[in-house]
Amino acid sequence: MRAFYTQITLLLGGLSLLAACSDEPPARSVGEFIDKPLMLEAAMVRCLQNRTETRYDAECVNARQAAQQIEAKEDAARRAELEARSESKRLALRRTQEAAQQARRRAAENQRLQEEEEYLAQFGVAMPGEGIAQEDGQETGDAALVLVPAGSEQRQGPVGDIQPANDGAASDGGNAPMSTTVPDEDEPQTN
């Protein structure tokens, strides 16, 4: 009988060993699926073939979670790339706008200086810091510059200077008009 118990023990041990081997392997984890994309793809194909049976299967649930995590990482990377592109475009646009603004400021400053120079030229005054270029290319210091409008009559002065004709203009070299009316003989003149 002893042999009989030994045989039954061996038979039960073999059956339990066989039962243990016939069980499915444990479900793969989310981390395994993330690390091995081919395994994830195979599991997703198997799970999508019969969704009703594999809906609550542990391996299919883990495969879906791994797919969602991978998709979220790819979306985050795509968003970061788009944000970097947008930032570089914003910086380029900002540099372009700043350069345009500086150009407008320089143009306005040049326009203001030109208008000031034209205004001062009416009085024969050169702009401070600007010299008059000579033929040899050197500049003289703050030499006075006299511009006479074209078409005005000129007369030769005692020293050889060209002066505008006094046709009602101020005698002090300014451009204020002088009175050309003759006082009445009845009114006393004040000097």
Question: Over the stretch 146-179, which tens digit does the pLDDT of each residue have?
Answer: 555 555 554 444 444 455 555 544 555 556 666 5
- 157-189 b/e with 16+ CB inside 10 Å = b? eeeeeeeeeeeeeeeeeeeeeeeeeeeeeeeee
The 3-state DSSP class for residue 11 equals helix
Q: Which amino acid is at 139?
A: E
Q: Give the mean pLDDT of 41-52.
A: 89
pLDDT value of residue 74: 95
